[in-house]
Amino acid sequence: MVRYAEPGAVEWVESGGGPLIAVPETVLPFWAGADGEETASDYDRACEVDGHVGLLPVGDCTALVLGDEPAATAYLPDHGMFVRWCAGDSEHEVLASVPPATATAQWGPETTWKVPGPVRLFDAAWPGTSLADTDQVRVALEPGTYTVRTARVQPGPETWLDFIRLHLRTPR
């Protein structure tokens, strides 16, 4: 089992203030971020997502927008979910609280997300073609249809987390 609090064991992604987005690698060139010639940029579309998650078309796929607040976010493959660090004193405290908080989380309604394979999680303001210079992480998802559910948990008096759980429903 991975001890997540070991330095370098978890890669956190942060934004400059807007939403994060998980874009399938196959369509990264189609995500223009805040750039673009349109009246409403891709970033503007991502900012319009109401709630914890939403889906946006990108090329011939969809991307998962992590909305609500610009919290530092990591993907924990052992739990099959994104963890958003809304409040907490330390990474160790936040990550140690994940297993017990998962067991008691009140999960919201599900969303269905079709994924062609690995995705990149990054600040929605960045274009998909410029990720080498940004704060981003590769999430190795299997191709298929995922159910996505969210929960806000408060495992301690000063610790708040958002969970975005991905469950592979049907492999492609």
Which pLDDT tens digit goes with each residue over 122-155? Answer: 999 999 998 876 789 999 999 999 999 999 999 9
| 76 lies in some domain | yes
pLDDT: which is higher, 160 or 69? 160
The secondary structure of residue 77, as a DSSP letter, is T
| 135 lies in some domain | yes
Report how many domains make up the chain.
1
Q: How far is the C-alpha of 166 from the C-alpha of 164, rounded, in Å?
A: 7
| 46 lies in some domain | yes
pLDDT for the residue numbered 6: 56
| 24 lies in some domain | yes
Q: How far is the C-alpha of 23 from the C-alpha of 28, rounded, in Å?
A: 6
pLDDT for the residue numbered 16: 86
pLDDT at 94 exceeding the cut of 70: yes
pLDDT tens, position by position, 36-57? 666 689 999 999 999 899 999 9
Q: Give first-to-last CA distance, the chain, whole Å.
A: 28
Residue 36, phi-psi category: left (phi > 0), alpha (psi -120 to 50), beta (remainder): left
- Beta carbons within 8 Å of 7's beta carbon, 6+ residues apart: none
pLDDT for the residue numbered 2: 43
pLDDT tens, position by position, 100-130? 999 999 999 999 999 999 999 999 999 999 8
Please name which of 51, 50, 43 lies closest in space to residue 20, comparing C-alpha atoms: 43
Q: How many CB atoms lie within 10 A of CB 78?
A: 10
pLDDT at 62 exceeding the cut of 80: yes
| 140 lies in some domain | yes
Q: How far is the C-alpha of 101 from the C-alpha of 103, rounded, in Å?
A: 5
- Residue 112, classed as helix, strand or coil, is strand
| 119 lies in some domain | yes
pLDDT for the residue numbered 165: 98
Q: How far is the C-alpha of 166 from the C-alpha of 172, rounded, in Å?
A: 15
| 154 lies in some domain | yes
- Per the structure, the complete domain to which residue 61 belongs is given by 20-171
pLDDT for the residue numbered 58: 97
Q: Report whether 113 contacts 62 (CB < 8 A).
A: yes
| 3 lies in some domain | no
